[in-house]
Amino acid sequence: MDAERNTGGQSGGGRTQKSVPDGAWDPGAITAISHFYRGELGRIMAWRTRLDSTTNWAVTASGTMFTVAFSVESVPHILFFFNIAVVAVLLWIEARRYRFYDAFRARVRMLEAHFLVPILAKHEGFLQGDWRTLVCEDLLLPSFKISQWEAVGRRLKRNYAYLFLLILAAWITKIFLHAPEPITSLHAFYEALRVGVSVPCWMVATILGGTFLLVMGMLVWISTQTPGEFSEMSGHRSQWRI
């Protein structure tokens, strides 16, 4: 084992690989980092649970408002505006939680890419960058790895975009079902947007269109600016790279 470790081996393609120095296999260091890795996994799982809790609150609140809106005809359709407002607040809270989750997840990925991979491959060529210093600095001065708006975009892409679109669809359905007059034209639909005498049609139309455009714009932006938690890949083995 020692001789094989010191001399290095040949890869399947005939390329010579340099073995990891003996100091990299210090049992004490490996044990400490292994416990650290397990602890960080537990931490990101705790934040993962918090993310799920916020999403559940948004779904529950939306389901409650759907039930009230469609079971009581006298309830105005503007109720869905408050539904959107509640979900938007929960999205902002979840994005903040996601930033914590992402910060701790970055440590886990650093250990996986620069500690576990060289151990498994026994190949020092994978020891890229000064990753030990980066991890130490992050332990001394923890910092977020993404902005609040990027976190909002990621959570919107994963869950909340579908919820916002569902609320908009329910809002339009409510307008058609409980309109004072039958809706037979686009103008009739526009007039049905009015809520009493205090909320004009143009205000409701602005809220509807603005919400839809904001959601779609955020989805396009996050899709072009960041790869997200995972990147798309084919089944080809050449794509299996850090």
What's the pLDDT tens digit per position in 194-214?
777 677 888 888 888 888 888
Range of the domain at 69: 27-227
Domain presence at residue 8: no
Is 22 part of any domain? no
From the list 68, 66, 69, 62, the residue with the least C-alpha distance to 88 is 62
| pLDDT for the residue 145 | 85
Read off the pLDDT band of 32 (50, 70, 90). confident
Angle, in degrees to the nearest 10, between helices 201-225 and 161-177 = 160
Decide if 233 is inside a domain.
no
Q: Which of 157, 174, 141 is nearest to 66 (CA)?
A: 174
pLDDT-based confidence at residue 16 (cuts at 50, 70, 90)? very low
Q: Which residue has the tokens 């809220």?
A: 207
- Asked whether 113 and 125 are in contact (CB, 8 A), the reply is no
Q: Is residue 110 part of a domain?
A: yes
Number of compact structural domains in the chain: 1
User: Is residue 122 situated within a structural domain?
Assistant: yes
Domain contains 242: no
Any domain includes 15: no
pTM of the shown model: 0.71
Residue bearing the bigger pLDDT, 42 or 87: 87
Name the DSSP class of 192.
H
